[in-house]
Amino acid sequence: MGQGNSENENKKRNEEVAQKQTEALQEKATEKKVAVQNQFAGLTKRNEDYMFRLNRVLEERDFPAEKRTAAIQEMTTELLEKQRQGVIAAKYYGTVTERAQEIIAGPKKVYTPPAFWKIALDNGLMIFTLFCAMYAVLNQFSVKGGQTNNGILTLLVTSAFAGTGMAYFYRVTGQRRSGGKKMPFWRVILVSLAFMLLWVAIYTLIAQVPFLNQGLSVFAYAVLAVLAFGLRYLLKKKLDIPARPF
């Protein structure tokens, strides 16, 4: 009999403890809900619901509390101003899931095009590599076995000029794609033609200069091609030159 009373008392005590814990959790949830509602005070019902769900998603994904609070506060302040113009959070920020992902991922890095001289150098080395490789092949399979009359001076000058011209062309086309200051298409065509003619003229004139401009051997051209290719590869990494410059 005494044992039965003891079991009942323990059961009753456990029920009371469980009830108090439940009440405490409910009270905590209510306080949290009130705090969140106060945080979104002034928002329209739809915007308030959006922010409430966004806050919950960020919390479920274990996004740091300090960063979450800062992001939510910033958005709330912005919405308080924007909603006067009829802005709805779901249309302005996208879905709750999309916005949460953007906040977690952090702000997108603004792409800054590389300096003009970097692109000119990169393209100049590319042209130099291609010409050296081409001359090596031409000399190797030449029927007469002679050497092309294009030495170091011709290669350096024409490669530098071509690299600069290509960098300018990339910058102009990049501005057209990004919506910046656009050069008329007809002018782009004329400039490109003028560049090609000037390049051919410089190439022809420099090839006539005898000093430092004698044809090289197949081996020399091949070595220069490999060295220029390696240097371009290293500079791309070191100077952070992208494959698509502009």
pLDDT digits (tens, 9 = 90+) for 7-29: 666 666 666 656 656 655 655 55
Place of tokens 């009130």: 34
The reported pLDDT for the residue numbered 180 is 54
Q: How far apart are CA 90 and CA 45, in angstroms?
A: 12
**Among 75-84, 144-153, 211-220, which is the least confidently predicted range?**
144-153
Per-residue pLDDT at 227 exceeds 90: yes
Helix (H, G, I), strand (E, B) or coil at 246: coil
- In this prediction, residue 176 has a pLDDT band, given cuts at 50, 70 and 90, of low
Q: pLDDT digit string (tens) for 105-137?
A: 877 766 677 888 898 999 999 999 998 998 888
Residue 190 has pLDDT above 80, yes or no: yes
pTM of the predicted model as reported, rounded to 2 decimal places? 0.53
pLDDT attached to residue 145:
47
Under a CB-based contact definition with an 8 Å cutoff, are residues 214 and 221 in contact?
A: no
Largest distance between two CA atoms of the chain:
122
What is the Cα–Cα distance from 133 to 41, expressed in whole angstroms?
A: 70
Average pLDDT over residues 214-225: 87
- What are the structure tokens assigned to 87, written together? 């802005």
The encoded tokens of residue 241 equal 């030159």
**Average pLDDT value for residue range 212-217:** 76
Average pLDDT of the chain is 78
pLDDT at 136: 86
- The Cα 215–Cα 151 span in angstroms is 5
Specify the pLDDT at position 142: 67
Residue 172 binned pLDDT confidence (cut-offs 50, 70, 90): confident
C-alpha distances out from residue 135 to 98, 126, 155, 231, Å: 55, 14, 10, 19
Question: 190 or 172: whose pLDDT is higher?
Answer: 190
